[in-house]
Chains A and B, each alone.
Chain A
Amino acid sequence: MYPSARYVPFGDRALIVEFGSVISPEVNRRVHALHEVVSNAKLLGVGECVPTYRSLLITYDPIRLNYEKLVFLIKDLEGTLETYTSKSRERKAIIPVVYGGDFGPDLARVSKYHNLRESDVIRIHSEHEYMVYMIGFIAGFPYMGELVQEIATPRLESPRMRVPEGSVGIAERQTGIYPREAPGGWQIIGKTPLRLFDPSWHSPALLQPGDRVQFKPITISEFQQISSAVSQGTYDPFA
């Protein structure tokens, strides 16, 4: 983490506030805290915020709010973060996953890479709690960490053309979920029956930056039950 945040313009319509040069939960927590404070402040001329690993992007209309004034206002808000406690309810989602087999074609490779049994990889992946660092790549794709070093695995050397919807993957010290079919290079170890993105929802992504997540191993028959609950809209992973 930098001793003090860096303020950098992104062209003439956004400001980036950068808290560090590493991927870490501490730096990322700072990003989410500033995001919350800025959103609550409802500053005139400020558009939307995009939290990422180590920085917050804030868009603004330069005609209504000049850059120097924006920086001044955000620095003022940043100053309150030391003593800030989040007013929003912390959310934790339990994500059911069928590991291995056709649903997790890279589980064997990941186990072999680390000299572990498949069941150890599953246990390690599902016993830790992760934080959603950011959403990106495609609509609703959560980048989560921090994955323990024991199962951290590099991306595939040549990405797949098609990774199925719901696939749960590993890339270095991160884990993620494909909200829909897409090309991708993450090591796929399982699949969740949950829907991660639906433009008809008020908030279109299931997970939000800053959410906590834990995976739960399930069987194929549980997968089918949860699948039908999901399509009826009766499954709540936050319960």
Chain B
Amino acid sequence: MKLFRVIKPGFFTTVQDLGRHGFLKYGIPISGAMDEFSLQIANRLVRNNPNDACLEMTAIGPELEALRHMQIAITGGGFTPQINGQEVEMWQTLKIENGDLVSFGKVRSGCRAYLSVRGGINVPFVLGSRSTYVRCEVGGIQGRQLRAEDVIEGFNSARLLDFKVSVPEKFIPRFKDEAHVNVMLGPQVESFTKKGVETLLSNPYMITIDADRMGYRLEGPTIEHEAKGNTISDAILPGAVQVPPNGKPIITMQDAQTTGGYAKIAAVVTADIHILGQAKPKDIVYFHRVTLSEAYHRLLEYRKEFQIIERELFST
């Protein structure tokens, strides 16, 4: 079932869900939404499964022609969505008709937005996920970003529902040009001097133009290593703060290589990785140290908040 024809693809638009799990040992990254919070809310707004596939747009949104009547939702960064040139609200269910033009204006905040469609986007499952991993041409639409004239497919079984919900104001994240993220030190904190660790925790770091789904290179005070900056290559997960020999940290993100040899000074806690998903070049990142039990409580809170929002959305 055809949902959209792509008129303009935007800067970098891909199909993503919550990622591909279980294949790290074969060198296949998790991929999936950079801001999993916004993706899941976009899905819940149209009563999809939280893991259904959405469009993830980056920096400049696409232009899409609707090929049928459907329900959609747009969440994430402030991408100023428009239907037939009229600005519409984000974080709520929207109805669109065959022939409608969905476009995006100025990006006011954040870096990525998500467009969900009732029933989800229909691309083949590859290794248990619909997420696009461009580097190895896996998943999504032919393993690549959208192009003009692509047709985005949905599911025939998607039954339109007669409802319209919106996320209450107080739960809508506000993306600023500063990201505060909690980190746990390690797993290779011993590769750094005490001063090096202090440097990371007490200074602002700026995201450079070298920032994509694989990771972000940061600029800021040089972090001092105990010895050299390399270790024997071992496993990497999204959110790792690696420091190459030049002392400038790199945060790995969803499409990061699965192994690597730079010492890892810290890891961003699970509940905060989505915050980084909305950070863009020139944004400032502050790292705050937490313990394992503080990270655990932060995750409990994050998941609880998500449940509260879900309850709000489903109570109407």
Contact = CB atoms under 8 A, between A and B. Distances in A.
Nearest to A48: B22
B24 to A, nearest CB: 5
A59 B240 CA distance: 14
A190 interface: no
Nearest to B188: A8
Nearest to B234: A52
A173 B207 CA distance: 36
A141 B27 contact: yes
A106 to B, nearest CB: 21
A63 B187 contact: no
A63 B304 CA distance: 12
A66 B296 contact: yes
B272 to A, nearest CB: 10
B295 A54 contact: no
B270 A10 contact: no
A52 B232 CA distance: 9
Interface in B38-97: none
A33 to B, nearest CB: 15
Nearest to A20: B232
Contacts of B239: 11
Contacts of A54: 232, 234
B303 to A, nearest CB: 7
Interface in A163-216: 180, 197, 199-200, 203-205, 208-209
B136 A138 contact: yes
A197 B26 CA distance: 9
Interface residues of A, number: 46
B236 to A, nearest CB: 9
Contacts of A130: none
Contacts of B232: 21-23, 52-54
Interface string A55-71: 10101001100110000
A139 B259 contact: no
A135 interface: yes
A49 B25 contact: yes
28 contacts: A8-B187, A10-B187, A11-B183, A11-B186, A12-B184, A12-B295, A14-B237, A16-B187, A21-B232, A48-B22, A49-B25, A50-B24, A50-B235, A53-B233, A62-B295, A62-B296, A63-B296, A63-B303, A134-B233, A136-B233, A136-B259, A137-B257, A138-B27, A138-B257, A140-B27, A180-B136, A199-B136, A209-B25
